[in-house]
A and B are shown apart, each in its own frame.
Chain A
């Protein structure tokens, strides 16, 4: 049985993500113990709260080290929402804060987009994913008509390398990155654990990696 570990950093709503894995028949370990994190086959970093608070927690408890180790060993890693955002170099949430710098790029405020004047923020609700033509790996996410996922966020990632963007969503007349995939790293701005069957199917695919 694969060891699926969910990183516990206090504020996050771990219950639903854990419940989703259990529903799929996988048991998980929820922990902030460095050794146990290093020992896992699949690592999940959920995300609720704010960028500076999460980064402060991760560095204070030295969890950045086992996360990077896990990724270096080429084992599958999933970052959800804020859990994806912290993989990048820095974010402008409240103040400029450094992230884990596993991926190159930054995290910006939706309010700073040109389209933001006519759009309700936070960006909350179900949205269809769109294909990125520059992405040419085997995509974990099958992008087809009616592939709707649940989003709720005010910040979004801007990867430097556009080829790691595995899907986009529309934001007014612009588009923003809704997921990334680079080697063994998977990041989702939406919540697969809150996106009904399609979300559960996606998590199952991750479990089978």
Chain B
């Protein structure tokens, strides 16, 4: 079995790295290039770029970030958000991404997933799932950055995308995203036994114990972390804020300690050291 991956996830809106809670209330955190470069040197196993708005006009920022990453970050780069056509995928790969992930477009038209796999190969096409409970207390797949509900149950959708050739699944818990309360273990317990492709868990990491809690599952290939890494880096001496004069920058300009109290102040290398001590198979 490959080593368990620690992946840093960067949510992008226009020219900025952003982060919210429950995929809402996005705050501007700075220049994505600065963060990805730091995570590469700190020992990240992979980087995920997720475009939150992904309108055609704003895509040029994303492509620019992937371009820069491919020339100074020598680990795999996975990109998604708003991918609708095979042309979109081609453009993202040509700009230096290694993998793309799809959510909305596959939920609306599952055949698109099959076409993507046929054209670019299984290992290049991942599925992103934004999961949340509805009133019946069952987990369903949401889309459009958590704004829209679908009628697909998470478990059924995992079965379907695996049979259609998805090479990897990134599973986000909307409820836990940005909270630092720990990953959604209920969601993981529901799905881990039916997993046949690599599974990446995202949403809720607040400290390294949360990370080891999910990496203990045999079928979990890695975790994607955003808030905990971003807020730690912002608090470090290295951090330089470049104001792009767009979006909600009030968090960075204020001295809000709310977030620093929810997330362990750490780094990828420190997290990895702790995981190694717990005898998890990690790349150091």
A124 to B75, CA, bound (A): 13
Could you say which of B5, B74, B198, B199 contacts A193, with CB atoms under 8 Å apart? B74
Decide if B30 is an interface residue (CB 8 Å cutoff). Answer: no
- Structural contact, B2 and A16, CB atoms closer than 8 A: no
The residues of B that contact A197 with a CB separation of less than 8 Å are 74
Task: Please give me the 9 A-B residue pairs with the lowest Cβ-Cβ distance, nearest first.
Answer: A125-B2, A122-B123, A15-B96, A19-B71, A152-B123, A126-B283, A126-B3, A127-B2, A124-B198
Decide if A98 is an interface residue (CB 8 Å cutoff). Answer: no
Decide if A176 is an interface residue (CB 8 Å cutoff). Answer: no
Binds B, one of A34-42, A100-108, A143-151, A159-167: A143-151
- Structural contact, A16 and B70, CB atoms closer than 8 A: yes
Q: Is the interface of A mostly helix, strand, loop or mixed?
A: mixed
The residues of B that contact A150 with a CB separation of less than 8 Å are 75-76
Q: Tell me the B28-79 residues at the A interface (CB within 8 Å).
A: 40, 45, 67, 70-72, 74-76
Could you say which of A128, A146, A153, A199 contacts B123, with CB atoms under 8 Å apart? A153
Decide if B93 is an interface residue (CB 8 Å cutoff). Answer: yes
Decide if A13 is an interface residue (CB 8 Å cutoff). Answer: yes
Binding site for A on B (CB under 8 A): 1-5, 40, 45, 67, 70-72, 74-76, 93-99, 120-124, 167-168, 195-199, 219, 221-222, 283-284
- Structural contact, A120 and B120, CB atoms closer than 8 A: no
The residues of B that contact A124 with a CB separation of less than 8 Å are 2, 123, 167-168, 198, 221
Binding site for B on A (CB under 8 A): 11, 13, 15-16, 19-20, 22-23, 48-50, 119-128, 146, 148, 150-154, 170, 172, 191, 193-197, 199-200
- Structural contact, A125 and B222, CB atoms closer than 8 A: yes
On whether A125 and B5 interact (CB within 8 A), knowing A120-B219, A148-B283, the answer reads yes
Interface centre among A22, A127, A197 (most CB of B within 10 A): A127
- Structural contact, B123 and A13, CB atoms closer than 8 A: no
The residues of A that contact B124 with a CB separation of less than 8 Å are 48
A196 to B39, CA, bound (A): 12
Closest to B197 in A: A120
A40 to B74, CA, bound (A): 25
On whether A126 and B2 interact (CB within 8 A), knowing A13-B93, A148-B283, A152-B123, the answer reads yes
A134 to B94, CA, bound (A): 40
Could you say which of A16, A121, A128 contacts B96, with CB atoms under 8 Å apart? A16
A152 to B67, CA, bound (A): 21
